[in-house]
Structure 1
C-alpha cells in the first residue's frame, strides 16, 4: 500500500470518528436532563437553594428584601362587573393563568358575611344522629354550598352535626357567591325548599330572611369578588436542553416543594397546618405518568400563586418571584409570560405593588387573603 493510500485511510478514519462523535454529542444534547445531573458534590447548597433561602420569612437581609408591592392592566381587569348573572372567572394577571384547586382540610363554619343563614328552632334538644339522618342527599343548592349547623348543648359552639352530641338550636345556610356567580332567585328558592324539608324532618321552625334583600347582597358581594380575584403565575422555559420530570422535581424539592395529589404537580406548603399551599409548580401530567418519566422531555413548567388563598404574611409574591429566579438559574431556563416574553424586573415590581393594593382591599372587607371566608368566596 502506497503512502498516499495510507494517508487517505487515516483521513477517512478520522472523518468517520468525527461524525460518530458529533452524532453522539447531538444525541446527548437533545436528551432531557435527568435528576442525577448537576448535584453539588461538596455538600454546599445548590444555586437554586441559596437563592431561595433569601426569600424565607425572617431570612431576608436589608438589601435583599422585596416587599410584595398586579400592574395597571390587572387593576383594569379587576373592575369588571358581572352583576351576578354569568359565571365569574378570576381577574387574570397578564403573566399566565394556572388554576390551582385546593380541597380544604376542614369546611369552615357558616358566616353571615358570605352566607344566607336561616335559624331553625327545634322544640327541644336534638341528637346529632337525628340531624345527620335528616340531612339532604346533596349539600349544594345550584352551584352554591349548602350546610346545616347545630349549637352544641354543652359548649354553646356552632358546629356540623356529630354523632353522640345534642344540639339546642340549628341553622341552615347557603353561600351568597363563589366563582360560579351570585346566588340567584331560583337558587334561593331551592335553598328554602331544602331547609324547610330538613326543618320538618327534625321538628324545627325555620325563619327565612327576605329573598330580595339576600339576592341583592349576593350580587354586591359577587361584584366585589369579581374585581379582586387574581391568580398569578410565571412560566419557566428551557434555554437549551429539555428537562425530565425527575430533574424538575429534584430542584423544586430543594426549595421545599413536595409532590401534589395530581400527577405533574408539586406544591410549597404553608407554614400552618390546614393552610392552602403557598405556590404550585405544574408540568405536563402525561410526562409524569410515562412508562419511563426520565425519558420524557419538558421544555416548560409553570409556577402559580392563588393570590386570595394565601395570607400576605407568607410573602407569597416574594417567594414566587425568587423561586422562579432560583429554578431558572439552576436549570438553565428563563422566566417568561405565557406568550414567551421575558419578564423584566420592572414588570415584576409593578405586579408586586398592585398586589399590595389588592391585599388592602380584601382586608378592608374582612376577607383577608388566606382567611376561611376568602378561600370559600374565591372558589
Structure 2
C-alpha cells in the first residue's frame, strides 16, 4: 500500500471522527436548551401523580369553567327554566368536541334585547351549563328568556334565534326540535303581562341647594356607606346584593360626563333587591343623612317632601309587593327574578 493510500485512509478516519464529535456537540447543545425550556419534573407523569401545577381550562359558554377534576358524570346545577324561557334543542348526528362547540357558539349570548343561555348534554351522560375540557356532546339547548323589561319576546327575536340554531344544525349535521312560533309568542305575552303587575321601582330625590362637583358628591356617598357595584354606587345588603343604588342627575356615577351634579336619586328596584320589611325606611334614613351632608332637600319620586311619619306605611306596601313576587314564583333578587326583571 502506497503512502498516498495510507494518507487518504487516515484522512477519511479523521473526517469521520470530526463528524461524530460535531454531532455529539450539537446533540448536547440542543439537550441543554430543551432543559432550559422544559425542566425535569420531580414526578414522571407515566409513573404516578404529577407535581402540583396550574389546571388547564377550555373555553366555555361565557361562564366560569369547570375544573378538569370535576366528576364527569355529575350534572351542573344551572338548568333551563321552563316558566320563563323557551328552548330550541339541537341533537347532533355525531358527538361534538368542546373546542368545536365553543367556536360555533362564541358570541351567541343575546338576541335582540333578550339574553340567551346555552346548555349541552355530554355524550355518555351529564348535563352541562358550561363546557369542560376534553368532553364530547350529544346535543345542545338554546334557551331564550320569554320576557324582560324590554317587553315580550318578539317574532323577529325568535326568528333570529331559530336562524342561529339552523346554522348550528347544518354545521354539525344535527336535528332541531322547538315549539311553534305562535305558541312561543303567546307564552311570551302572558309572562310579560304577569310581570308588569309585579314590577316596581321606588325613588327618592335629593335636590341640591347648590351645585357640587361629581367627585365631591361621590365622596360624600362613599363616606356615608355606599360601595361601588359595577358602574353603580350601591347600598349593599348583608348578602352582597344592592338594597338601592344612586344616580347623579339620572345617570350612573361611573357614566356621568358633566363635572357638576345638581341632583342625586336613590332608586329601590324591588324585584332585584332582597325582601325587607323596612325597605323604604332604610332608604329614607340614608336619604335624610345625605340631605344633611349635601345641603339638599329630600323629595319623593313625585317631587313632594318626604314626611317622617310616612315611612312605615310605605314599608308595608312594598312588603306586600315582595310577597306577591314570591307567590308568583319570583323570589326577590334571585337569579331567576333578575333574569326577567332586567
In the alignment, structure 1 residue 267 sits paired with structure 2 residue 237: no
CA distance in 2, matches of 1:355, 1:314: 8
Q: How far 1:312 moved relative to its partner? A: 0.9
Please state if 1:144 is matched with 2:109.
Answer: no
Q: How does 1:118-267 map to 2 (within 5 A)?
A: 118-135=88-105, 137-152=107-122, 156-238=126-208, 240=209, 242-259=211-228, 261-262=230-231, 265-267=232-234
C-alpha distance in structure 1 between counterparts of 2:130 and 2:170, whole Å: 19
Normalising by the residue count of structure 1, what TM-score does the alignment of the two structures yield? 0.60
Unaligned runs of 5+ in 1: 1-103
Match of 1:81? none
Q: Measure, in 1, the Cα distance between the counterparts of 2:278 and 2:174.
A: 47
Note if 1:306 corresponds to 2:275. no
| Match of residue 286, structure 2, among 323, 326, 332 | 323
**Mapped contact 1:146–1:173 kept (Cα < 8 A):** yes
Aligned pair count? 265
The TM-score with structure 2 as length reference comes to 0.66
What does the per-residue CA deviation read over 1:50-70, in whole Å, with 9 as the maximum and x for residues that have no partner?
A: xxxxxxxxxxxxxxxxxxxxx
**Relative to structure 1, is the Cα distance of residues 318 and 153 closer, same or farther in structure 2, using a 3 angstrom cutoff?**
farther
Aligned residue for 1:366, secondary structure, equals coil
Q: Which residue of 1 aligns with 2:23?
A: none
Q: Which has the larger radius of gyration?
A: 2
Of 349-358 and 359-368, the range deviating more from structure 2: 349-358
Q: Identify if the C-alpha distance between structure 1 residues 288 and 170 changes in structure 2 by more than 3 Å, giving closer, same or farther.
A: closer
Give the SS at the match of 1:278.
strand
Residues 109 and 117, structure 2, Cα contact 8 Å, conserved in 1: yes
Instruction: Give RMSD over aligned pairs.
Output: 3.2
Deviation at 1:203, TM superposition (A): 3.1
Which residue in 2 is equivalent to 1:33? none
1:341 corresponds in structure 2 to 304
The gaps in structure 2 that reach 5 residues or longer are 1-61, 65-77
* 1:145 CA displacement: 2.3
Distance 2:279 2:122 in 1: 38
Greater relative CO (CA pairs within 8 A, separation 6+)? 1
With over 3 angstroms needed to count, the CA separation of the structure-2 counterparts of 1:286 and 1:256, relative to structure 1, is: closer
Q: In structure 1, how many angstroms separate the alpha carbons of the residues matched to 2:243 and 2:218?
A: 17
Q: CA deviation at 1:114?
A: 0.9
Distance 1:113 1:244 in 2: 46
C-alpha displacement of 1:170? 1.6
SS in 2 for 1:341: coil
* C-alpha separation in 1, matches of 2:215 and 2:95: 57
CA distance in structure 2 between the partners assigned to 1:303 and 1:105 by the alignment: 31
Aligned to 2:9: none
Would you say the 8 A contact 1:152–1:159 is kept in 2?
no
